[in-house]
Amino acid sequence: MHKVFCFFYFYYQKEVLIVSLLEITNLSHIYGDKILYQNESLELFKGEHMGIVGQNGVGKSTLIGILSGEIIPDSGHVVWQSNIKLGHLDQHAVIQGDYTITEYLKTAFQGLYILEERMSELYERYASTGNEKDLLQAANCQTTLETREFYLIESRIEKVMNGLGLSVIGGAKLISKLSGGQRAKVILAKLLLEEPDVLLLDEPTNFLDKEHVLWLSEYLSAFPNAFAVVSHDYDFLEKVSSCICDMDAGTIRKYTGKYSDFLKQKNHLREEHIRRYHAQQQQIKKTEEFIRKNIAGTNSRNARGRRKQLERVERIAPPSVSVSKPKFCFLESPCSIQEALNVKNLEIGYYYPLLPPLNFTINSGQKIVITGFNGIGKSTLLKTLTGYIAKISGEFTFSDSVQLGYYEQDIIWENPSLTPLELITACYPSLCTKEVRRQLSRCGISNVHALQAVSTLSGGEQAKVKLCKLMLSPCNFLILDEPTNHLDVLAKEALQGALKGFGGTVLIVSHEEAFYRSWVNRVLNIEKI
């Protein structure tokens, strides 16, 4: 559990009392050899909806971990207002016990269920003793339950399950049988039902379809309490945020307004910084020239005076170098056959069919997105086609010339202690170390991160390692399951360009319509094929 400190901060703005729920001062943290933050400060106010943005690896998830108390910073103070109830979305959390989805979601109201049991005991005791005190206490319990909408719990659970696409899976499904993405949605659902004072969310849209992303954005927009959310889905942030926390080159800076407002403000500040920097550099150059020409002449006294003044000048830091954009490029193998895949009466699922029999064909060179409700079976279809799970019945046939490349959405490593350099070398032993480093660097993995255990990298960096591995194997049929999860905007743009330029076949599942809209030429609704 996180340690809670007692802290209050108030100020008046337009005669409205603003309460600071959180104050971070002088925050510094080093991860490996990289300084994530150095003497940074941040505040979160009551009712504020904060989006946290930045490139992969800058420490966004680490900041959420620090706020939740799961990570201890190297230095600085993280002070929460006393008695604050935090809700933290940890997508890798282990749920103890063999709960069904509904049973687990009901634990969000555990206190109310205990109160109901107490009320029943008091009524039973009154019935046998006639003690008026028992009746009064029972009535008070009932009033509390009614006030806190205890008798609407089932409808509240149903609403959230529908909104996040859990109803399709079914409330009776055991959580132990769920995928990582489904489990993350269950944890998120429980957090929303608990309605904590502050929500801490790390990439909550990763496993949601666009319909459920829309529902979540509407829910969070109307959320009366505060939250901080890490996301690379900037359309989502535009809808839910009232301020943006930008993490860039070891700094943390807060901007007021929507994501679009933040972009304008940041661009303006950068342009102003560049202007001031160049103006100062010009002035310094002129002064240095004057000193050089006059230090030994009749104006030597003035020259020495200017040199002292120059030494006291506070130098404006040079503009930060733009972050290099990853470069993705898939090795394309030839495929001369027109029909690349034929699916006939295919039934998919783990124990029973998730859908009616599927029938469709995909021609060579087509770029197709699969749509349908979350949990309906899109990922299951891809895993079936790639041989990761067995079909239930029916047939699917790839052309003999097809060479598959598969990107799985779950980031799972057989040996997470290996470094990216070791992982790629093990897959492609013919490549020398220098070439492996070059390929990783091309995908946005620095030399430092190439030598760290892959499990210690951010989600976005791990996704880039997976893409690097995929890129080095020739293929003509790419099957991609939510490849944009965890990727920052530059990496998404690079991947989008690579898929546009890929001459082979692409079959993709993605919840980000903005990512695939411009290059996909066919949509397969899995509910209607």
Paired with 86 in beta bridges are 198
Q: How many CB atoms lie within 10 A of CB 320?
A: 12
What does pLDDT average to over the chain?
89
For residue 318, what pLDDT is reported?
83
| pLDDT higher than 60, residue 495 | yes
Domains 1-85+196-320 and 339-525 share a fold: yes
Report whether 455 contacts 61 (CB < 8 A): no
Report whether 241 contacts 49 (CB < 8 A): yes
Exposure class string for 345-375: b at 16+ Cβ within 10 A, else e = ebbbbeeebbbeebebebebbbbbbbbbbbb
| pLDDT higher than 80, residue 17 | no
Q: Which amino acid is at 156?
A: R
What are the DSSP calls for 407-476, one per residue?
E-SS---SSTTS-HHHHHHHH-TTS-HHHHHHHHHHTT--HHHHTS-GGGS-HHHHHHHHHHHHHTS-BS
Span 439-453, mean pLDDT?
Answer: 92
Span 163-174, mean pLDDT?
Answer: 89
For residue 92, what pLDDT is reported?
66
Highest CATH level, class, for 1-85+196-320: alpha beta
Q: What is the residue extent of each domain of the chain?
A: 1-85+196-320, 339-525
Report whether 488 contacts 461 (CB < 8 A): no
What is the Cβ-side half-sphere exposure of residue 292, based on CA atoms within 13 angstroms? 6
Distance, CA of 152 to CA of 150 (rounded, Å):
5
How do 477-481 and 404-407 pair as beta strands? parallel
Q: Using 50, 70 and 90 to split pLDDT, how confident is the model at 3?
A: very low
pLDDT by residue (tens digit) across 199-234?
999 999 888 888 889 999 999 999 999 999 999 888
Span 330-359, mean pLDDT?
Answer: 88
Backbone φ and ψ of 134, nearest 5°: -60, -40
Backbone φ and ψ of 396, nearest 5°: -145, 140
Handedness of CA 454, 460, 463, 469 (dihedral sign): negative
Q: At what angle do helices 153-164 and 210-221 cross, to 10 degrees?
A: 130
For the entire predicted model, the pTM comes to 0.75
Tokens of 231: 């996301």
Distance, CA of 452 to CA of 442 (rounded, Å):
17
For residue 14, what pLDDT is reported?
44
Report whether 288 contacts 311 (CB < 8 A): no
| pLDDT higher than 60, residue 6 | no
Q: How many CB atoms lie within 10 A of CB 240?
A: 25
First to last CA, the chain: 48
Angstrom distances, CA of residue 502 to CA of 337, 363, 485, 520: 17, 15, 20, 12
What is the Cβ-side half-sphere exposure of residue 529, based on CA atoms within 13 angstroms? 23
Task: Provide, for the chain, the percentages of residues in helix, strand and coil under a 3-state DSSP scheme, each rounded to the nearest 5.
Answer: 40, 20, 35
Paired with 24 in beta bridges are 42, 78
Report whether 507 contacts 477 (CB < 8 A): yes
Q: Which amino acid is at 155?
A: S
Distance, CA of 9 to CA of 473 (rounded, Å):
56
Consecutive H or E run containing 188: helix 180-194
Consecutive H or E run containing 395: strand 393-398
For residue 31, what pLDDT is reported?
81
Span 185-211, mean pLDDT?
Answer: 91
Tokens of 202: 């790390």
pLDDT by residue (tens digit) across 289-324?
888 888 887 788 888 888 888 888 889 888 766 567
Q: How far is CA 218 from the centre of its chain?
A: 18
For residue 9, what pLDDT is reported?
44
Q: Using 50, 70 and 90 to split pLDDT, how confident is the model at 376?
A: confident
Q: How far is CA 292 from the centre of its chain?
A: 55
Report whether 260 contacts 238 (CB < 8 A): yes
Domain formed by 339-525, architecture: 3-Layer(aba) Sandwich (3.40)
Q: Using 50, 70 and 90 to split pLDDT, how confident is the model at 95?
A: confident
Span 398-426, mean pLDDT?
Answer: 92
